Amino acid sequence: MNFKNKEIYNKDFKIDNNIAYFIGILHSDGCIYNLFDKKRDRKIIRLNLTIGKKSISMALKFKKILFDYFNRTVNLRKVPNKNSYVIQTSINRIKHVLKNWNEKIPLEIKRDSSLFGAYLAGLIDGDGYIKLKNNTTDRIVPQCIIKIASDHPMVDVKNSIISHIGCNVHFEYKKGNKGVDTCFYISKKSIGYIKNYIFPHIVIDYKLNTLEKFFNNKNTGLPGLS
């Protein structure tokens, strides 16, 4: 698809796994905002993605999707005097699509297990935290918990996780009104979904490594990665 020099509308677009991942990143580390250009006397709609150094691989994938699907060439640049990087671009020609995705999960993703897995991978790469709870005094089998940080309870995400993955989900509220984590454990019931629909889309190395370590731990009683 080449949409150069023309506006893109929802009817032109089909959500696939790459776009579902892209939306997951948009809902975690990305934002869309309006900017008034005084020189041109018009409103500009802009997209911003700000990340830390450990998330550069995620930003590069986000950058590639912008080019492949929207013909947008963007730069990933270091923020002066900060240990962070940013992608910024105007999206006026693709506003009809991206603004429709801003802050809400499209129905296509909610209804499709594969698309939701890719979307969830985007959330995990963006604001996710994967932790191994190794052997403790009261547990022989180690646990692996996935947490997704937000400034509000992610009810739609919780409901979709329950629907597609079939595991329990709970919210952990941080002290001082600093946000809330959406949390779920990997179990024998959910391991197949994690491996088939989420793991293949994650690109941040240390998050992949944590999952691989859990998958291949003989004490889990779960099948490892082949």
Q: What is the pLDDT of residue 123?
A: 97
74 with 129, same domain: the answer is: no
Q: What is the pLDDT of residue 211?
A: 94
Q: Domain range holding 36? A: 10-101
Q: What is the pLDDT of residue 23?
A: 94
Half-sphere exposure for 151 (CA within 13 Å, toward CB): 4
Cα distance between residue 54 and residue 48, in whole Å: 18
68 with 32, same domain: the answer is: yes
89 with 125, same domain: the answer is: no
Residue 54 lies in a domain: yes
Q: Which residues make Cβ contacts (< 8 Å) with residue 159, sequence separation at least 6?
A: none
pLDDT > 80? residue 126: yes
Q: Where a domain ends, among 83, 101, 119? A: 101
Percentage of the chain with pLDDT > 70? Answer: 85
Q: What is the pLDDT of residue 27?
A: 94
Q: Which two tokens stand for residue 75?
A: 């730069």
14 with 97, same domain: the answer is: yes
Nearest to 70 by CA among 121, 22, 33, 36: 22
pLDDT > 50? residue 2: no
69 with 118, same domain: the answer is: no
Residue 27 lies in a domain: yes
Q: What is the pLDDT of residue 146?
A: 96
Cα distance between residue 100 and residue 98, in whole Å: 5
124 with 202, same domain: the answer is: yes
75 with 147, same domain: the answer is: no
Q: What is the pLDDT of residue 1?
A: 45
Q: What is the pLDDT of residues 199-209, one digit of tens each?
A: 999 999 999 99
Q: Where a domain ends, among 71, 101, 131? A: 101
Domain count, the chain: 2
Q: Give the Cβ contact number of residue 202 at 10 Å.
A: 22
Binning pLDDT at 50, 70 and 90, where does residue 90 land?
A: confident
Nearest to 96 by CA among 5, 4, 11: 11
What does pLDDT average to over the chain? Answer: 86
For the chain, the helix, strand and coil percentages under 3-state DSSP, each to the nearest 5: 45, 25, 35
Q: What is the pLDDT of residues 45-68, one digit of tens each?
A: 889 999 999 999 999 999 999 999
Q: What is the pLDDT of residues 140-182, one digit of tens each?
A: 567 899 999 999 999 999 999 999 999 999 999 988 777 999 9
CATH number for position 67 = 3.10.28.10
76 with 181, same domain: the answer is: no
pLDDT > 60? residue 226: no
Average pLDDT over residues 105-112: 94
**Coil, strand, or helix at residue 90?**
strand
216 with 114, same domain: the answer is: yes
Residue 4 lies in a domain: no
Whole-number CA gyration radius for the chain:
19
Residue 181 lies in a domain: yes
Q: How many helices (H) and strands (E) does the chain have?
A: 8, 8
**How many residues does the structure list for the chain?**
226
Q: What is the pLDDT of residues 11-23, one digit of tens each?
A: 557 899 999 999 9
Q: Tell the burial category of 30 from Cβ atoms under 10 Å away from its Cβ (0-12, 13-18, 19+).
A: buried
Residue 2 lies in a domain: no
Average pLDDT over residues 66-87: 92
Nearest to 29 by CA among 66, 60, 55, 57: 55
DSSP state string for 97-139: HHHHHTTS--HHHHH-HHHHHHHHHHHHHHHEEEEEE--BTTB
Residue 191 lies in a domain: yes
205 with 112, same domain: the answer is: yes
Q: Residue 79 carries which DSSP code?
A: P
132 with 90, same domain: the answer is: no
Q: Where a domain ends, among 101, 129, 154? A: 101
Residue 60 lies in a domain: yes
116 with 201, same domain: the answer is: yes
Residue 3 lies in a domain: no
